[in-house]
Amino acid sequence: MGSSRQLRKQVIAFAPATISNLGSGFDVIGLALEKSGDYVVAERTEKRGVQLIGVDGDNGVLPRDARKNVATYVASAILKDLKPRFGVAITVHKRMPVGSGLGSSAASAVAAALAVNALLGNPLSKRELLPYAVEGERFVSDAGHPDNVSPSMFGGVIFIRDVKKLDVIQLPYPKKLVWVVVHPHIEIRTAYARKILPNKVPLAKAVLQWGNLGGLIAGFCLGNIHLLARSIEDVIVEPVRARLIPGFKSVKSAAMEARALACSISGSGPSMFALVTNQADAKRVGRAMQKAFRRAGLNSDLIVSRINREGACLVPCVGK
């Protein structure tokens, strides 16, 4: 590693929010969204180790203790391995909802990894930073699922062939896709949403699910929007998690009646996403979904986004 005098004193990294699972791909597929996400500032300090200077944009719900926050957890893991002759102070600016199913902890983990790496002179590639971010996910949700951190890191649509070896594949995708995400104002803890899932899956259901996942991946690769849309069908996880989301059934029906091409739960919820191909459809579908949530007693936020190609970046991000 170069002398610390040549290194930057402060860097800011951005990592985007993500939609994972996409119906049939529990834990193995996800995509990055534009705009929403986390900014992490990393500053070099004389004092060794990692300090957490502050967190904002989270309504005070995230840990302020550096031993419990995912961003500082990831930063500490990187410092422990790379042993620079300085410490790092971290500030997290959250610009996305927490506990929403949009990969909030993943965005913090990825932005922290990228920022600390830049402060150290970029010794690691994004691929080498990925396991640190996955460990961050394990730290906060008891499961090292890579389907939020991977698209947040690399951008685009990412398929993870092997979640242990982190065999991650960036898929091509049709440029017309527009994602409508509605975030109702309740929180679902990922750890709980995972705990209620079955350990065993009947073979007949597994066959339907891997048929759909194959269709989803083929749809992305072939640019066949109707194939990918009809493959956003989850016969294993969605039926169990639906009951955690008030109004789930009517929100999904409202999206489909408003001519969405597909609709499912984003990650572990409570956000729900729908797929459309233009802004006018996005507006109509988003309105219908929000109205259905309101009828179930929930206010919500609406995010309409295309796919973020670049993933995590150092601010100012180039190519945006």
Tell me which of 21, 36, 152, 271 binds ligand HSE, using CB under 6 A: 21
Residue 145 lies near ligand HSE (rule: CB under 6 A): yes
Contacting ligand HSE (CB under 6 A), which of 99, 184, 267, 286?
A: 267
Q: How many residues does the chain have?
A: 320
Dump strand ranges (E) for 74-128.
87-95
**Is residue 101 part of the contact set for ligand HSE (CB under 6 A)?**
yes
Selected from 14, 17, 20, 261, the binder of ligand HSE by CB under 6 A is 20
Closest approach of Cβ 193 to ligand HSE, in Å? 6
Catalytic residue check, 137: yes
What's the rounded Cα separation, in Å, for the pair 198 and 21? 16
Q: Which range touches ligand HSE (CB under 6 A), out of 19-27, 157-165, 177-185, 204-212?
A: 19-27
Query: Shortest approach of ligand HSE to residue 58 CB, angstroms?
Result: 17
* Catalytic member of 18, 190, 233, 238: 190
One residue of 108, 117, 190, 308 binding ligand HSE per CB under 6 A: 190
- Pairwise CA distance, residues 228 & 23, whole Å: 10
| Helices and strands of the chain, counted as H and E runs | 10, 11
> Where in 198-237 is the site for ligand HSE (CB under 6 A)?
none
Under the binding rule (CB under 6 A), the answer on residue 194 touching ligand HSE is yes
23 to 62: interface string for ligand HSE, x by CB under 6 A? ---xx-----------------------------------
Angstrom distance (rounded) from CA 308 to CA 155: 6
C-alpha dihedral sign at 215, 221, 224, 225 = positive
Task: Supply φ then ψ for residue 233, to 5 degrees.
Answer: -135, 125
CA distance 210 to 222: 18
The angle that helices 104-119 and 126-141 make with each other, rounded to 10 degrees, is 140
| Contact criterion met (CB below 8 Å) for 172 and 222 | no
Binding residues vs ligand HSE (CB under 6 A): 20-21, 26-27, 101, 103, 145, 147-148, 190, 193-194, 267-268
Active site residues: 137, 190
